[in-house]
């Protein structure tokens, strides 16, 4: 099996846009969210709605706060669970979406419109690998 992330023949590529919340205020943290003005809160909602309606975007799902995660590992055939995320809370994933774009530059431009990218978080742009037998 071989993974292919190249953009051959001028076709579009798919990217998974991983939204890392970082210090981004969200409605899940009412105290932090309240630090944004009503206009800023409404702009965040509007920006995510606009992203979801952007051609080439397949909306993903938001996630509950990382504190509610359960991490699963298997060691010596035994399933082990730990309360909380695999990474530190600040690094935890807050959501994702899939983008079909002409190239990385176009994907970066869309990523720059994600509110988390300007409010203390980041967006990781990762090409999708198509596995072939």
**Residue-wise pLDDT tens digits, 112-122:** 999 999 998 99
Q: What is the pTM of this model?
A: 0.80
Residues 109, 6 contacting (CB under 8 angstroms): no
Alpha-carbon distances, residue 101 vs 61, 63, 119 (angstroms): 20, 24, 24
Of residues 16 and 8, the one with the higher pLDDT is: 16
DSSP 54: S
The pLDDT value recorded for residue 1 is 39
Which of residues 108 and 66 earns the better pLDDT score? 108
CA–CA distance from 103 to each of 12, 81, 113, 118, 123 (Å)? 7, 39, 16, 22, 16
Q: What is the pLDDT of residue 8?
A: 54
Backbone angles phi and psi of 125, in degrees to 5: -100, 115
Q: Mean pLDDT throughout 71-81?
A: 94
Location of structure tokens 């080439």: 56
């Amino acid at each position: 099996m071989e993974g292919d992330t190249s953009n051959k023949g001028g076709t579009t590529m798919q990217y998974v846009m991983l939204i890392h919340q970082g210090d981004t205020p969200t409605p899940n943290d009412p105290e932090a969210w309240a630090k944004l003005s009503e206009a800023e809160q409404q702009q965040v909602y509007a920006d995510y709605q606009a992203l979801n309606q952007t051609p080439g975007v397949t909306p993903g799902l938001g996630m509950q706060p990382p504190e509610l995660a359960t991490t699963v590992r298997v060691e010596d055939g035994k399933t082990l669970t730990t309360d909380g995320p695999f990474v530190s809370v600040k690094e935890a994933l807050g959501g994702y979406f899939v983008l079909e774009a002409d190239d990385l530059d176009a994907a970066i431009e869309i990523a720059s419109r994600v509110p988390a990218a300007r409010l203390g978080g980041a967006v990781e742009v990762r090409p999708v690998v198509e596995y072939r037998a």
